[in-house]
Amino acid sequence: ANLLYLSYDFKPKGFLILASGYNSDGSIIKQKEWINFSYRHQLILVGLSFSSRIEDLRNGNGYYYASKGSGKLLLDGLKQIYPIDLPIYLYGFSGGAHFVSRLAEWIPGKIGGFCAYSAAWWDKPTYLKNPPKGIIACGEKDERLGASLSYFLYGRKVNRQWTWCRVFNANHAQSAKFEDFVRNYFESIISKLNKMDVWIDITNGQVVSTNISVLKPALTCYLPSIELLDEWKSLNGVK
């Protein structure tokens, strides 16, 4: 296990954790788009580099399972980077999505927002008093699409403020266009002033409610700002 992070010259307002594929090395933090975003919002940029044997991941004992040790390793590591508790923002792709989705369930009160993009299997979400806002996503041509959509739908049944993205024409690969949307999504959460959040129909992108207190049916998703709607439609191939 290892954490990579970039040095900073600001008073931090949070952590931004990036977790890419299975047993990845954390080098995703070198991407200039994430670096620029972290500086603009004064977030300490951290790359996750955890490793487990595939058989342990499949039997529920590897680093994907945050409540079984890897989550504590991360939190202990963040304390060494900066000793004061700060909101944590999470982006995970593939193996990273496995870890991110389970970490957000394990310590929801510490999570400012998260994105879990294209995990192969998911744990069923349960009712949480104050769950974090998040994106559940998968490429349209990815074989993980069904499992990812099912997880999103389970989350909506327990009233999660989640956004669904079926990334148009995408396979199992990281997407620069999708990551732009993730950064704009996080920015809407961080810069909440004068942002109108909405519920939309995931089949056609139509706004169905601007009242987040209303329990919506499963085939709706949440956007923290209506300004994200056109970008969401383009990403999902919705006219």
Question: Rounded to an integer, what distance in angstroms lies between the CA atom of residue 81 and that of residue 97?
Answer: 23
Beta strand 220-223 pairing with 207-209: unpaired
**CB neighbours of 146 closer than 8 A, spacing ≥ 6?**
none
Question: Rounded to an integer, what distance in angstroms lies between the CA atom of residue 217 and that of residue 239?
Answer: 22
User: Cα dist. 239→81, 231, 236 in Å?
Assistant: 45, 11, 9
pLDDT (tens place) for every residue of the chain, 239 residues total: 889 999 999 999 999 999 998 888 888 999 999 999 999 999 999 999 999 998 988 888 899 999 999 999 999 999 999 999 999 999 999 999 999 999 999 999 999 999 999 999 999 998 898 999 999 999 999 999 999 999 999 999 998 999 999 999 999 999 999 999 999 999 999 987 667 899 999 999 999 987 766 666 779 999 999 999 999 999 999 98
Length of the chain equals 239
Task: Give the CA angle between residues 5, 6, 12 to the nearest 5°.
Answer: 95
